[in-house]
Amino acid sequence: DVVMTQSPLSLPVTLGQPASISCRSSQSLVYSDGNTYLNWFQQRPGQSPRRLIYKVSNRDSGVPDRFSGSGSGTDFTLKISRVEAEDVGVYYCMQGTHWPKTFGQGTKVEIK
């Protein structure tokens, strides 16, 4: 199985400051169709997960543009340009290139 490794696992951030989460995969996530199936999810406290970004850098409808995704191959990043209070929660990367689908351990974002 593809192992997804996130860092850091805990991220205290000051409101209005940027935040960055790294996600590394144990194998390349480039699929035979040329796409890279690396996706990001947000899980706010007490809520179900919500997809934020798919295929590395495509934001879902309704996701603020302060969220951005980047990366290639085995190395990916989720950035929040200016953290707001509603961004508190756990963020997961997930690869869909290889079966089984696998998630990172999660990064907990909290306000300092």
Partner 1 sequence: EVQLVESGGGLVQPGGSLRLSCAASGFTFSSYSMNWVRQAPGKGLEWVSYISSSSSTIYYADSVKGRFTISRDNAKNSLYLQMNSLRDEDTAVYYCARDPIYGGPRSGMDVWGQGTTVTVSS
**Cα 104 to Cα 6, 14, 84, distances in angstroms:** 6, 24, 23
Binding mask 72-101 for partner 1 (x = CB under 8 A): ------------------x-x-x-xx-xxx
φ, ψ of residue 2 in degrees (nearest 5): -80, 125
Rounded to the nearest whole angstrom, what is the least distance from the CB of residue 14 to partner 1 in the complex? Answer: 26
Applying CB under 8 A, among 69, 71, 89, 104 the residue interacting with partner 1 is 104
Applying CB under 8 A, among 19, 21, 41, 71 the residue interacting with partner 1 is 41
**Cα–chain-centroid distance for residue 28?**
17
Name the residue nearer to partner 1 (CB basis): 33 or 86. Answer: 33
- The alpha carbon torsion through 18, 21, 22, 25 (nearest 10 deg) reads -150
Beta-bridged to residue 54, according to DSSP, are: 58
What are the residues binding partner 1 (CB under 8 A)? 1, 31, 35, 37, 39-41, 43, 48-51, 54-55, 60, 90, 92, 94, 96-97, 99-106
